[in-house]
Amino acid sequence: MATSGSFNTNTIGDFYLKFSWRRTSTSTSNNTSTISWELTAHNAAGLYRTVYNRSLTVDGANVHSSSSQTTAYEGTVLASGTRTITHNNDGTKSFSANVSAGIGQTSTNCTGNGTWTLDAIPRHATINSFTLDNRTINTFRINYTMSNTCDRVEYRIDGGAWTLAQTGDRTSGNFTVTGRNRNTEYRVNIRVRRKDSQLWTESGNQSITTSS
């Protein structure tokens, strides 16, 4: 997975453009990565060239364009900036960049592109199973499994307040709910917090009736 990258355009004489980027931050809550980018000129012969009609697209958005002519030497920075990239729902993301320009002429004769895969951002765990069993006159047991390591499990009875059940790293477990009334139906659901993202996943309801 990439945290930085670059590509060079085709060479016109000894002259070419270079696009480079690096990731500067990641937001787990927003499911985004922010990159800084730069477009620079390079000339192995050390001479200048005139650049026309530049255009740069990053992650599907045009982040720089210019119809004016620019005199560029080795290392001239033609453009720079930042771009915040939204990841897919599962936290994965690939993005591309494309550049075009005219070197020594107004029509395009210089192009380049690249594609990179960013580090995935941790997202919500999936509750793979959630069951109720082992009922008595005033207790029942909650069982669960998750797709990822979670560090906190809570439960709720009949839509009331959430109650802490367990902490510590786990992908499965069970616990007993006590203090219930006999021969009473309860609607129960749980929620789990994924350890690496600290995002919560809530289950649907399950029903159980205590023994009479």
Residue pLDDT, tens place only, 130-149? 999 999 999 999 999 999 99
The domain tally of the chain equals 2
Of the residues 85, 117, 149, the one at which a domain ends? 117
The pLDDT tens digits for 2-13 are 999 999 999 999
Binning pLDDT at 50, 70 and 90, where does residue 61 land? Answer: very high
On whether both 136 and 203 belong to a single domain, the answer is: yes
On whether both 179 and 107 belong to a single domain, the answer is: no
Domain span at 197 = 127-209
- What CA dihedral angle connects 83, 87, 91 and 95, to 10 degrees? -80
On whether both 87 and 141 belong to a single domain, the answer is: no
On whether both 51 and 87 belong to a single domain, the answer is: yes
How confident is the model at residue 107, as a pLDDT? Answer: 97
CA distance 96 to 6: 11
On whether both 32 and 108 belong to a single domain, the answer is: yes
Q: Are 118 and 33 in contact (CB under 8 A)?
A: yes
Q: What percent of the chain has pLDDT over 70?
A: 100
CA distance 51 to 72: 7
pTM for this predicted structure = 0.82
Binning pLDDT at 50, 70 and 90, where does residue 47 land? Answer: confident
Indicate the residue type of 3.
T
On whether both 199 and 142 belong to a single domain, the answer is: yes
CATH of the domain at 191: 2.60.40.10
134 within domain boundaries = yes
